Amino acid sequence: MSQVIRSPKMYDVCVIGSGAGGGTAAKILTEGGLSVALLEAGPPVYPEKDFKMLMWPYELPHRGIGVGGHAAENFGEFLAPNGAWQIEGEPYTSAPGSNFQWFRSRIVGGRTNHWGRIALRFAPIDFQSATRDGLGDDWPITYDDLSPYYDKVESYIGVFGTHENVSSAPDGMFLPPPKPRCTDLIVKKACDKIGVICIPSRLAILTKSVNGRLPCHYCGQCGRGCVTASNFSSSQVMIPPAMKTGKLTMITGAMAREVILGKDGKAEGVSYIDKATRTERRISARAVVLAASACESARLLLNSKSAQFPNGLANSSGAVGKYLTDSVGSDGWGIIPQLEKMPPHNHDGVGGMHMYIPWWKFDRKNDFPRGYHIEFGGGRDMPGVGEFNDLLHEEEGYGATLKKRARQTYGTGIGMAGRGEMIPNPDTYCEIDREVVDKWGIPVLRFHFKWSEYEIRQAKDMQETFRAIIEAAGGVYKTKTPISGESPFGIAAGGKIIHEVGSARMGADPKSSVLNGFCQAHDVKNIFVMDGAPLVTNPDKNPTLTIMALAWRASEYLLDEARKGNL
Ligand SMILES: Cc1cc2nc3c(=O)[nH]c(=O)nc-3n(C[C@H](O)[C@H](O)[C@H](O)COP(=O)(O)OP(=O)(O)OC[C@H]3O[C@@H](n4cnc5c(N)ncnc54)[C@H](O)[C@@H]3O)c2cc1C
Ligand code: SF4
């Protein structure tokens, strides 16, 4: 039998994962005076060394696309480090007939090193949509419960935007937005023509200094990570203040295996693999916060079996792993010939969209439930490998004529991405694969995934809207999508939009939910889940701002309960 090395210290809280949820928990709990051990499966991040800011394509082998173009599928070698669809030795599986893709990031800060920084509040109706249309379930909390925490998160991390009074996209505590780019103005004008709402976007990027962090200097490369911490990542914005308290013990290279249940029915710690020595270790703590990302936290609970919880810890409801959703995604693009005549101009800005289209048909009867928003972009960014593939397919010839054509068409494309709400369905969930383990011997997840007719109709509507906008702008819509098969109307595979949530949802009824409205397990009072897993619905708004607001609120509750001796 291998020897388990136990930490001599008893921590107040053990937090698993340092991404959006775990970073927020670590900050609030340590600032509240609790001692926290933070287990993080990845290594530390060193922005100066790890982030490829202000590098030219030719400074990287294969100009950032990787040997054989392989890095392209992980968004290229420029992307902030340690994020991938497949991690060597740490597989996941999909059940026959299902295709689920899982982007994981093993590094301090998790996927907040990579995210697009789109920071949107859920709307009041998103918490009670089942009451309106009878699909899925309502949340046990309302927008009013969460709104003060949206305020706190936005004010602390810095989000730009404008007050617009659109009911599907509530306003927040905004910094001033950057100016629209040329392509934004073209899309806005087209949207005005056809009655679509188009407003400045809301991104977690500083346009003014906040808490000593410098404002953005408009290098346009947020996806690479920001050396000046002008955009939000948990590693640069949540972890440093937690460290400053002296109450945080960060343990990197620590792959949590299981939450340990004590004889009193409460969690007493976490067992983890120290990746450097491949030894099993144990942290003792009075409370445990799972924030390893929605599916990884479900995996941890399902792998934590005991006589009391033979189907997984805190899983008397059987809801762990169920109610999994991702955003509905369908993309398209078109060209705007009038842009061929544009003189070269300054296209600088933040590394993301300056304007977007919130869900605008909320007051109509649509042939699918709920809604979607549209992210768009275009213009003259740094050209990358493969930039002219479409042109090469369309144009005859070579040499000077082809180059001239490439110069003419460069920067005339506008891309659009619809991001919409999926309704949870019984064919979409994750469970433990009975046969496959990872390189640490930990059983892996097996995914089941199915889109329903609701989501497919939404993707169709996205494609029709993209075309309508591009044509209203005087352009030519180029995307062609099949109407059936694996990807009708271009609907992306499950997980591809990287908004997977819901796998340990909160609810008023312990028979059908895992957590109460404070992200606390119904079954075990000193276990909390603070990542995407508690979300009851997955509205068109990207989930990370809500993950942080929920984690902030749950952490304040945990602090209170700890003070009262209730945990
Ligand atoms: C390219 C990209 C673009 C995105 N764009 C947006 C966007 O614009 N807006 C938006 O809202 N969202 C976006 N997202 C999604 C966003 O990143 C996630 O919603 C968010 O990071 C989830 O936070 P989390 O705390 O649940 O998990 P994560 O941020 O994934 O953090 C989980 C952490 O837990 C660690 N961990 C995992 N397993 C273990 C274990 N067993 N033991 C110890 N540690 C473990 C991981 O290493 C990681 O550090 C994007 C994601 C990507 C990759
Ligand atoms: S665009 Fe701004 S926030 Fe983004 S990486 Fe550049 S300086 Fe940082």
Q: Encode 199-232 in three state secondary structure.
A: EECCECECCCCECCECCCCCECCHHHCCCCCCEC
User: In the block, which residue shows the tokens 């295709």?
Assistant: 99
What Å distances lie between residue 279 and 17, 87, 303, CA to CA? 19, 20, 18
Residue 546: which of 556, 558, 535, 559 has the closest Cα? 535
The closest-lying atom of ligand 2 relative to the alpha carbon of residue 216 is 2
Q: Measure 105 CA to ligand 1 centroid, in angstroms.
A: 7
How confident is the model at residue 1, as a pLDDT? 41
What Å distances lie between residue 362 and 132, 250, 277, 422, 455, CA to CA? 12, 45, 54, 16, 16
**Does residue 286's CB lie within 6 angstroms of at least one atom of ligand 1?**
no
Residue 383: which of 50, 69, 58 has the closest Cα? 58
Question: How far, rounded to the nearest angstrom, does the alpha carbon of residue 157 sit from its chain's CA centroid?
Answer: 16
Ligand that comes closest to the CA of residue 250: 1
d(CA 102, CA 70): 17
pTM over 0.95: yes
| Number of CB atoms found within 10 A of residue 536's CB | 25
How confident is the model at residue 50, as a pLDDT? 93
Q: Up-side HSE of residue 222: CA atoms within 13 Å toward CB?
A: 24
Q: Measure 317 CA to ligand 1 centroid, in angstroms.
A: 26
d(CA 524, CA 504): 13
CB distance 38 to 15 below 8 Å: yes
Q: Measure 219 CA to ligand 2 centroid, in angstroms.
A: 5
The 10s digit of each residue's pLDDT in 421-453 is 999 999 999 999 999 999 999 999 999 999 999
74 phi/psi in degrees, rounded to 5:
-95, 30
CB distance 192 to 468 below 8 Å: no
Longest Cα–Cα distance of the chain, Å, equals 78
Strand ranges, E, within 74-218: 83-84, 93-94, 104-105, 199-200
**Does residue 110's CB lie within 6 angstroms of at least one atom of ligand 1?**
yes
Ligand that comes closest to the CA of residue 551: 1
Please name the helix (run of DSSP H) or strand (run of DSSP E) that holds residue 22, with its range, or none: helix 20-31
Q: Measure 457 CA to ligand 2 centroid, in angstroms.
A: 36
Alpha-carbon torsion 422, 428, 433, 436, what sign? negative
* H helices present in 424-452, as ranges: none
The closest-lying atom of ligand 1 relative to the alpha carbon of residue 442 is 41
Strands 279-290 and 4-16: parallel
CB distance 120 to 420 below 8 Å: no
d(CA 116, CA 327): 15
CB distance 222 to 78 below 8 Å: no
d(CA 200, CA 204): 13
Mean model confidence pLDDT for the chain: 95
Q: Which residues contact 128 (CB under 8 A, 6 or more apart)?
A: 138, 139, 142
Strands 279-290 and 267-274: antiparallel
Q: Measure 226 CA to ligand 2 centroid, in angstroms.
A: 6
The closest-lying atom of ligand 1 relative to the alpha carbon of residue 546 is 11
Ligand that comes closest to the CA of residue 550: 1
Q: Measure 223 CA to ligand 2 centroid, in angstroms.
A: 9
The closest-lying atom of ligand 1 relative to the alpha carbon of residue 82 is 47
Nearest CA to ligand 1 atom 51: 115
Q: Measure 348 CA to ligand 1 centroid, in angstroms.
A: 28
Sheet holding 199-200, edge to edge: 199-200, 355-357, 372-378, 413-420, 328-335, 476-477
Tell me the pLDDT of the chain (567 aa) as tens digits: 457 888 789 999 999 999 999 999 999 999 999 999 999 999 999 999 999 998 998 888 888 888 777 777 888 888 888 999 999 999 999 999 999 999 999 999 999 999 999 999 999 999 999 999 999 999 999 999 999 999 999 999 999 999 999 999 999 999 999 999 999 999 999 999 999 999 999 999 999 999 999 999 999 989 999 999 999 999 999 999 999 999 999 999 999 999 999 999 999 999 999 999 999 999 999 999 999 999 999 999 999 999 999 999 999 999 999 999 999 999 999 999 999 988 888 888 999 999 999 999 999 999 999 999 999 999 888 888 888 888 888 888 889 989 998 988 999 999 999 999 999 999 999 999 999 999 999 999 999 999 999 999 999 999 999 999 999 999 999 999 999 999 999 999 999 999 999 999 999 999 999 999 999 999 999 999 999 999 999 999 999 999 999 999 999 999 999 999 998
How confident is the model at residue 344, as a pLDDT? 80
* One-letter amino acid for residue 277 of the chain: T
527 phi/psi in degrees, rounded to 5:
-115, 130
3-state secondary structure of 406: helix
- Who lines ligand 2 at CB under 6 A? 205, 216-222, 226, 228, 230-231, 350-351
Please name the helix (run of DSSP H) or strand (run of DSSP E) that holds residue 349, with its range, or none: none
The DSSP code for 266 is S
| Number of CB atoms found within 10 A of residue 178's CB | 21
Ligand that comes closest to the CA of residue 52: 2
**Does residue 256's CB lie within 6 angstroms of at least one atom of ligand 1?**
yes
Burial class from Cβ neighbours inside 10 Å (0-12, 13-18, 19+) for residue 450 reads middle
Q: Measure 400 CA to ligand 2 centroid, in angstroms.
A: 36
